[in-house]
Amino acid sequence: MSTFTLSHPLAKVVMLVLTFIPVAKQIGAQSVNGASEIGAAIPKAYITRYTTQPPNIDGIIDDTCWQKAVWSDKFVDIEGEKKPKPSFDTRMKMMWNDTCLYIAATLSDPHVWATLTRHDAVVFHDNDFEVFIDPENGTHGYFEVEINAFNTIFDLFLNKPYRNGGKALHSFTVTGLQSAVHINGTLNNAADLDSGWSVEMAIPFRALTTGKIKKQPGEGSTWRINFSRVQWNTNIAAGRYIKSVGDNGKPISENNWVWSPQGVINMHWPERWGYLLFTKKDHSVLSEFEPTIKIYQEQYLWLLYHKQQAYFKKYHHYATTLKNLGYKNEFFKIKEELNQVSLKSDGSFFTISILGKTDTSSINNNGLIN
């Protein structure tokens, strides 16, 4: 298998904290129970295999090379298990070579429709399939590609999440992107029933940049990635698909179905995205995703980041000591390795660092991971 549910690093680290630092129960107890305090979803992981033969990008996922890539789990509601299962199935799979990341997806749907045909139209106003990629795993500087059943592309770059004052660069283009859609039925025909639609993409690594540094993965590289499907509720009137409206006369909110649940109705929390591991190794050699100490550190930093944001919301300034956040001891273990947490804050900004024997990670009040 190449797709796995990653045992939640946040929960594992918190359990370690509970084991080695009993005084941290204020943080740990809330996090072990599904990380309910911050609505944390369980990050998933996908091991993408190297292919020497690229697929033909025609929307039909029948190339021999695709047979070596494993389908993901079926998508779930963006908020996770507390919401009903999606009405229609969605799955994806990935491969890579030295030039591109290849993505395939199937979206079951009895009524396939689309309206937007202009590049960079706001594609999620139609039913769509979306890809979010953060090559640096720092939440600052990530890419988004959306596609509808017309194969209309909306691609953009965000310097940082909207919550941190980020702005979307709509003029950004994934240069060299290849994409195709295949309709298993008929598009925009309300008189019949369809099976759904499928998507293929080839995203050039050289295009995932806004400067001179190319985002080129190698053996063992780990990126953050997630996928979303926007699905609107519709009615059929006069042979046409019409979005369902509520009592206020406005369209009912769309459904958001994702690969790795976000825990909140917001795709722009990159720390909740899944992990993408690049490898050229054979299935028999590498069949599971093993979180590194750095991944554990980063997940723990995100717990502290969100606690700081909650603290700021309540007191109008950030905590200046770990004790303010419920800690009396800054030491804990990850995989039997001693780590030390430190907090620097003047109330208006903060930097939290975790120092281990082999890895060091930090996060600031803008949510930037270093």
Q: With bands split at pLDDT 50, 70 and 90, how would you rate the model's confidence at 289?
A: confident
Q: Measured between alpha carbons, how far is 35 from 78 in angstroms, rounded to an integer?
A: 15
Q: Are 301 and 293 in contact (CB under 8 A)?
A: no
pLDDT score at 188: 97
DSSP 369: B
Model pLDDT for residues 317-330, shown as the tens digit of each residue: 999 999 999 887 78
Residue 41 has pLDDT above 90, yes or no: no
Indicate the SS3 state at residue 50.
Answer: strand
pLDDT score at 175: 95
Q: What are phi and psi of 106, to 5 degrees?
A: -120, 135
pLDDT score at 330: 87
- Provide the sign of the torsion angle of the four alpha carbons 138, 143, 146, 147, taken in this order: negative
Question: Mean of the per-residue pLDDT values for the chain?
Answer: 87
Collect all residues with Cβ–Cβ distance below 8 Å to 121 and sequence separation of at least 6. Answer: 152, 154
CB atoms within 10 A of CB 57: 19
The arithmetic mean of pLDDT across residues 338-353, rounded, is 95
The CA–CA distances, whole Å, from 150 to 146, 294, 336 equal 11, 41, 52
- With CA atoms as reference, report the closest residue to 278 among 226, 220, 203: 220
pLDDT score at 57: 98
Model pLDDT for residues 185-239, shown as the tens digit of each residue: 999 999 999 999 999 999 999 999 877 677 899 999 999 999 999 999 999 998 9
pLDDT score at 212: 66
Bridge partner residues of 169 (DSSP): 157
The CA–CA distances, whole Å, from 165 to 11, 169, 291 equal 29, 13, 30
Bridge partner residues of 351 (DSSP): 344, 364
pLDDT score at 285: 56
Q: Measured between alpha carbons, how far is 212 from 198 in angstroms, rounded to an integer?
A: 34
Residue ranges of the alpha helices (H) in the chain? 9-20, 25-32, 293-315
Q: What percent of the chain has pLDDT over 70?
A: 87
Model pLDDT for residues 73-84, shown as the tens digit of each residue: 999 999 998 899
pTM of this structure = 0.87
> Would you say how long the chain is, in residues?
370
- Residue 184: both structure tokens together: 């298993």
| Residue of higher predicted confidence among 6 and 71 | 71
pLDDT score at 227: 98
pLDDT score at 246: 92
pLDDT score at 166: 95
Collect all residues with Cβ–Cβ distance below 8 Å to 365 and sequence separation of at least 6. Answer: 308, 318, 349, 350, 351
pLDDT score at 332: 83
Residue 43 has pLDDT above 60, yes or no: yes
